[in-house]
Amino acid sequence: MLLKKTRARKSKTTFVELLSKADAARDAGLWPDAARLYADTISLRPDDAPIRMQYGHALKESGELKEAEAAYLSAIKIEPDADSYLQLGHLYKLMHRPDLAEQNYLQSLTLDLTSADARSELIDLGWTAARLRGRLGKDELGVEGSYPQGSDSGAIAFELSDLVDFLQHARYPTGIQRVQLELAEVLRHTEHSVHYVYFDNTSFMFNEISHSQVKRIVDLVTDEDRSEDTRRSYAERIRMEIRSGVEFEFQQNTNLVNVGTSWGYQNYFLVIRDIKRRFGVKYIPLVHDTIPLIFPEFCDQNLVTNFISWIDGMTEHADMVLANSQNTLNDLTSLAERLSQNLPPSRLLLLNGEFRARDGKNLDEKKKALAVLRSHNLDVDDYVLMVSTIEPRKNHMLAFNAWSRMLKTRERASIPYLVCVGAPGWMNEALYTRLERDEDLAERIIILRNVSDQTLNQLYDRAQFTIFPSLYEGWGLPISEALAHGKVPLVSNVSAHPEAGGEHAVYFDLGSEADFQTKLEDLIDDVPSRQHREAAIKTATPLKPWSDICADLVNHLNYLETEANQDAPPAPQIVSGRYYSMGRNMERRISRLGYRAEQFRTGLNWEELEEWGCWVRGGTAELRLTLPDEGDAFQFYLYLSTPPLEANTANISIAVPEAKWTLQTQAGSNATFWRSFKLNLEPGAKREISLRLVGSTVVDFRTLSEGRDHRESAFAMRGIFVAHADNDEERRSLMEAIQFKDLKSISLRFQKQATITS
């Protein structure tokens, strides 16, 4: 007996030693050695599934993919679990076998319904949350209890979509994202029923953001210790967790509040219409400015076209509009008039909050910030601070001209440095060319990018004063930041700047460089006067805590609860004799804006708008519209396309459920065509109707794109035209436009209408 115990102890020791050596080789990245040692360990304990998985990892990292597959499969045969299937899915992905990867990710998610990694991989493979629920069963997902769902009338769904997306490529948030962060953090600590949501532009739904994920987003912004690669990886992981998480289940009368941007999301208002119709959701956006339409020459062209579409859709869908300043509200009112839209009930949510960069968490962060200043001698030299994106609208050139004049007329020692803090923006080549050609000026101007909050705090605190000569702003965050630090801001007297600066800023006439030069040098030279102004700023406390701004927001929502119309929104009205394009707006001027069929889309069976039109999702799509008041007989013209079909033809049915009317028609493969039908209304019938289109053959676009395009569609819609059946002139205008390929001529919204007679 003693001999047997001794041998057993020796065998156990050998196993432990082998496993320890294998783990050490793995940790050192010596993958071939680790694989050999794990193989020896398996010979001593062949039924140990975790060791077989480690053996598979080592083989995979060594490039032995087929051998790794065998190791993983042998581990799964002994002890199948979610992680084993997940790792096998990763291996098949590496082996370029997406079908097997998909199968194993699905099996992993089936065994562990909370697996964010498996869900993220499936989303990358084209799976939507709705499709996953259809595969796994809604009740089987088992995640509803993991997230706080909206359950009471008047709950707040606070949207953080563009903040989450912004942090994928930028370390430090700018003005609009700062507003989202401030309000999101305050709302987390209120007694109100608050939920956070993210609009997924690929699945066309709002996903829940848990409160813990909001905290992680805030920590991501404030943590200075992460490297940029680590930060990006962490930001991407948060977004993937949100995208692969649970769809937010809106309850009746939830307030969807968006204080960020959404004009880059093409199907955003399609989803807004859907949740408003199904749940009575009230949509409340905060408009920060209308600059893309006031200064389109300083904006990216895609931004201008998207912004026009967004403003047009926002005024149609919003239950209340919040504006960050009276100036922005005035601009928005004028813009709505130009669009021939009625602006929804509007209220001010002034951003006169305590905008101050967040303090560092520890002494090391403060030391790093001070080191940045010391590297430019800003801990000892005098300087004036300008914080803004480096682009023409911010008017850096005015400041450069002023410093250039001082260098030619004053003693150099009396001229402070100009410190410009901001990321590179749009069309800034002229600024950098100026500095390249003027060495004296370049020596007096310091440009800093990717500045941490702690460094920005130090820069504000040590600055003589700040300047903000911007041509136009919706509010002017750097003005509020300067006041929060007790500094005097010298700002242009335009747009909302007087609202942001109040009586504590120094204003100059934007049209006069001489006025700017005079007031700039006065602030430099008259130190007692500047100190007097600083004392007035500190004693007057012109800014208020963000908790007060949050309270203002909630009060506006309470007003909406009592005053807003609770009825379901009517279907938009179609104008006869006008072509409505289903294509994405590509115009950069409101005067050239055409009638848009996008507003008629109902339900979620629509893909994103493209320049020419829109594919349906699957085989069924629905339009909802209100016919003109006059007449009971109408001629409809639908402009449609089909994808390439295996068969030469496919059937498409067109139905008007309210009229109990259906038309069957055939379409060819890869065809673009018109279909016309006549609709007669019964006397006194409702003018609001639905059009339901059903295609018999759904094409998987993966077969047409070598797997790159995951869409499935039976047909696309390009546009719609409705004429009075007895009005030959209306119908003739369409025929001529088709013949001359000039549909734009009958789609413009703001042209002089010719008198049309029967």
The pLDDT value given to residue 161: 96
The pLDDT value given to residue 756: 45
Q: Which of the two residues, 249 and 4, has the higher pLDDT score?
A: 249
DSSP letters, 97-161, are -HHHHHHHHHHHHHH-TT-HHHHHHHHHTT--HHHHHHHH-HHHH--GGGS----STT-EEEE-H
**Would you say 74 and 80 are in contact if contact means Cβ atoms under 8 Å apart?**
no
- What SS3 state is found at 278? helix
* Helix, strand, coil percentages, rounded to 5, for the chain: 45, 20, 35
Beta strands in 578-658 (DSSP E): 579-581, 601-602, 614-615, 620-626, 633-641, 649-656
Q: Average pLDDT for residues 206-211, to the nearest whole number?
A: 89
Q: pLDDT digit string (tens) for 442-465?
A: 999 999 998 888 899 999 999 999
The pLDDT value given to residue 137: 56
Q: Which of the two residues, 322 and 356, has the higher pLDDT score?
A: 322
**Domain 14-144 belongs to what topology?**
1.25.40
Percent of the chain with pLDDT over 90: 65
The pLDDT value given to residue 126: 60
Q: Average pLDDT for residues 135-159, to the nearest whole number?
A: 54
Q: pLDDT digit string (tens) for 121-138?
A: 887 776 656 556 656 654
Q: Average pLDDT for residues 347-361, to the nearest whole number?
A: 76
End-to-end alpha carbon distance in the chain: 113
Q: Which of the two residues, 428 and 470, has the higher pLDDT score?
A: 470
Q: pLDDT digit string (tens) for 265-286?
A: 989 999 999 999 999 999 999 9
Instruction: Tell me 651's DSSP state.
Output: E
Q: Which of the two residues, 325 and 178, has the higher pLDDT score?
A: 325
Q: At what angle do helices 546-563 and 175-187 cross, to 10 degrees?
A: 80
The pLDDT value given to residue 221: 84
What is the distance between the alpha carbons of residues 640 and 138, in angstroms, rounded to a whole number? 35
- CATH code for the domain defined by 363-542: 3.40.50.2000
Residue 143 has pLDDT above 50, yes or no: no
Looking at 106-110, 149-153, 628-632, which range is the least confident one?
Answer: 149-153
Q: At what angle do helices 301-317 and 268-279 cross, to 10 degrees?
A: 10
What is the distance between the alpha carbons of residues 480 and 160, in angstroms, rounded to a whole number? 23
pLDDT band at 357 (very low <50, low <70, confident <90, very high): low
Q: Average pLDDT for residues 430-441, to the nearest whole number?
A: 93
The pLDDT value given to residue 14: 77
Q: pLDDT digit string (tens) for 643-693?
A: 999 888 889 999 998 888 889 999 999 999 999 999 999 888 899 999 999
Q: Do domains 14-144 and 363-542 have the same CATH topology?
A: no
The pLDDT value given to residue 141: 43
The pLDDT value given to residue 91: 93
CATH architecture for segment(s) 579-746: Sandwich (2.60)
The pLDDT value given to residue 315: 94
pTM confidence score: 0.78
> Over the chain, what is the mean pLDDT?
88
CATH of the domain spanning 150-348, picked from 3.30.450, 3.40.50, 1.10.10, 3.30.70: 3.40.50
In sequence order, the β-bridge partners of residue 692 are 622, 655
Give the rounded distance of the alpha carbon of 517 from its chain centre.
40
pLDDT band at 544 (very low <50, low <70, confident <90, very high): confident
Looking at 365-379, 391-405, 483-497, 599-613, which range is the least confident one?
Answer: 365-379
Domains of the chain, residue spans: 14-144, 150-348, 363-542, 579-746
